[in-house]
Amino acid sequence: MSEKDSSFIQSPADTRPDRFDEFDDEINLKDIILALWGYRVKIVVISMAITLVIIAAGSFIYLGQQKRSMAKMQISLDFEGVENNQYPNGMKFSTSDILSMTVLSKVYKENSLEEYMKLPVFKTGISVIQTNDSIGFLEYDYAAKLSDKKLNVDQRKRLETEFLEKKRNALVPVYTLLWDTSGVSIPSDIIAKVMNDIMQTWAEYAVRVKGAVKYQIFLTSRNVLSKEDIECEDYLIGVDILRLGIKRVKNDINKLMTIPGAITMRTGKDRISLGDIKYRLADLVNFKLSPLGGLIQHTGISKDVELSRAYLLNRIFELDRKNEEAVGTVSVYERSMDKYMQLAMGVVPTIISGTSVPSSSMSGMTGNVPAMIPQVGSSFLTSLIEMAQENSDAKFRQGITQRIIDAGLERVDIDGELKYYQLLLKQLTNNGSTNKSTKKFIASSKIKIEDTMDNVFTSLMGAIDELNNMYHELCKMNLNPASVLYTVTQPLYMVVEKPIKAKKIMMYMILAWILAEGMLIFLMLAVSSFTRPNTTNRRRQ
């Protein structure tokens, strides 16, 4: 064989080691499987040992736990606004209110729990958790439906809307009241009483302190007017005090009219309605106070004319000042509305026409707008402005308009009061100089005036009481009484459980086994890697 042929035959053998070197650093799945297969006996033995160790450790932890004795009572909070963490009157609600120190201290003392435990131990053993299994089932059901890849956009959107609606309806505030009585020997009847007392005490606290079942409306009470104070004043002043008191009660009636069911509500033995109270007050003014004021003006009867005159002058001064404030308020709102409308009218022509900035007031706001106009159509910009500003502009204009109306109505009321007091002052001055009534007539008139004022005061107090009774009835009807702020949906029951449940320990055991097996496989591969270079060398040889 020639030298050339010999070199030709040997050349493949000479290049084979180079190919091994080329792929030597790459991961070969077959090599990994073969390496693990070589250690299969060790892996099985060690895996069994790991499994036995993990089972033994998990069993030791679970069986070694100290059992806890738990008292549970499931409750549902039924008052309006609980889904927004609010009481019916709008005040903030939290489950911490149920476990407040005020509530727990009262329950602790009333049930003489100091015989069994200290107050801090009792407080730390009580807890409230929210439980609502229906939401979990609902989410699981719709998760399976929405995972269907065959759904189109409309079907998916319809399912999502349906899910959100059902979830909103299923958001029933269901809670579980827990009491950990571990290590304490308490009779079961006392435990049941304590759990119920906690909820009842919280309901009383919510009503008395938080005002949970009362609308946030301020009503006139008997404390506003005093019969003795009215009798000490001059007749004219006393009549005006009664007139203003009736006016306040009428305003209270208007407040109650806004509560649902107030118009048709009837209370008391006589089944009195808000309309009845309103008409009675109108009759008091028309048939008693107004004639009484006319009698005082005609006869000029007064305990102290100068005091009455000073009172009228002071009232006129105060009403003049309020009238000026009302006029100024209306003027401010009107100027604000005019300026806003001028500003809005100035923006649209600028954007549509693409001309220069229309006014100096707009120069800081729309200086860059004209440069953008030639790039897009005017109809597009007009539609964009309308969509972006329609809602906000409408709300702003409505708010300003409503303020103008309110200020205008206040001004009308002030003007009426002002004219009333000016007329009284004029008549008081004239009657003081021309009155020539006899003493007998004056004496009889005084008796009539005092009797009428007493009658009006009594009727006014009765109307105030009826109005407050109507208010409480409306609160009970709409905001739920204290007895139904909550409902016990599941009676009290005792359970003995371990702090860590078997399901959770099992999950930890599985995770530990997976981690241990991963480490074992990694260790076997690391050991096998030390033998791989020897195998490569043998191949090369």
Rounded average pLDDT over 190-212: 83
The residue type at 420: Y
Same domain for 258 and 194:
no
The most confident of the ranges 128-142, 241-255, 433-447 is 241-255
Query: Cα 393 vs. chain centroid, distance in angstroms?
Result: 27
Whether 206 and 117 share a structural domain:
yes
120 and 180 part of one domain: yes
- Is residue 163 included in any domain, yes or no? no
In a domain, 141, yes or no: no
CA distance 290 to 292: 5
pLDDT digits (tens, 9 = 90+) for 211-247: 666 666 778 888 888 888 888 888 888 888 999 999 9
pLDDT above 90 covers a percentage of the chain that reads 8
Average pLDDT, integer, range 84-113 = 85
* Domain co-membership, 180 together with 241: no
Confidence of residue 479 (pLDDT cuts 50, 70, 90): low
- Residue numbers of the domain that contains 116: 68-132+172-213+484-497
Q: Which residue has the higher pLDDT, 105 or 384?
A: 105
Q: Is the pLDDT of residue 378 over 60?
A: no
Please tell me the predicted confidence (pLDDT) of residue 370: 42
Dihedral (CA of 280, 281, 282, 287) sign: positive
- Terminal-residue alpha carbon distance, the chain: 25
Averaged pLDDT of the chain: 76
**Residue 44 φ/ψ, nearest 5 degrees:** -65, -45
**Tokens 């606290």, located at residue:** 205
Q: What is the predicted pLDDT for the residue at 358?
A: 45
Q: Give yes or no: residues 395 and 450 share one domain.
A: no
Are 526 and 510 in a shared domain? yes
| Domains of the chain: total | 4
What dihedral do alpha carbons 409, 411, 417, 421 form, nearest 10°? Answer: -170
- pLDDT of res. 383: 54
Q: What is the pLDDT of residue 386?
A: 55
Residue 153 lies in a domain: no
pTM of the model: 0.50
Is residue 404 domain-shared with residue 458, that is, in the same domain?
A: no
Q: Which of 113-127, 369-383, 471-485 has the lowest mean pLDDT?
A: 369-383
Domain-embedded: residue 159:
no
Output DSSP code: residue 179. Answer: E
pLDDT at site 362: 40
Query: H/E element holding 495?
Result: strand 486-497
Do residues 373 and 429 both lie within one domain?
yes
- Could you tell me if residue 154 is inside a domain? no
pLDDT at 379 over 60: no
The closest of 132, 206, 123 to 490, measured between CA atoms, is 132
Does residue 55 have a pLDDT over 70? yes
259-317: pLDDT as tens digits? 878 888 888 788 888 889 999 999 998 998 888 888 887 777 888 888 888 888 998 99
CA distance 16 to 24: 12
* CA atoms of 222 and 462, how far apart (whole Å): 9
- pLDDT at site 524: 84
91 plus 19 within the same structural domain: no
Cα 37 to chain center, whole Å? 64
Q: What is the pLDDT of residue 222?
A: 87
User: Is residue 107 pLDDT above 90, yes or no?
Assistant: yes
Does some domain include residue 366? yes
Q: Using H for helix, E for strand and C for coil, what is the string for 268-315?
A: CCCCECHHHHHHHHHHHHHHHHHHHHHHHHHHCCCCCHHHHHHHHHHH
Q: What is the CATH number of the domain that holds 105?
A: 3.30.70
- Structural domain contains residue 399: yes
User: Which residues are within 8 A (CB) of 16 and not within 5 positions of it... i.e. 6 or more apart?
Assistant: none
Same domain (yes/no): 78, 190: yes
| Judgement on whether residues 76 and 207 belong to the same structural domain of the protein | yes
Burial (CB count <10 Å: 0-12, 13-18, 19+), residue 435: middle
Q: Torsions phi, psi of 77, nearest 5?
A: -85, 120
What is the CB-side half-sphere exposure of residue 55 using CA atoms within 13 A? 6
- The C-alpha atoms of residue 416 and residue 326 are separated, in whole angstroms, by 14
Flag whether 488 is in a domain: yes
Residues 234 and 365 in one domain: no
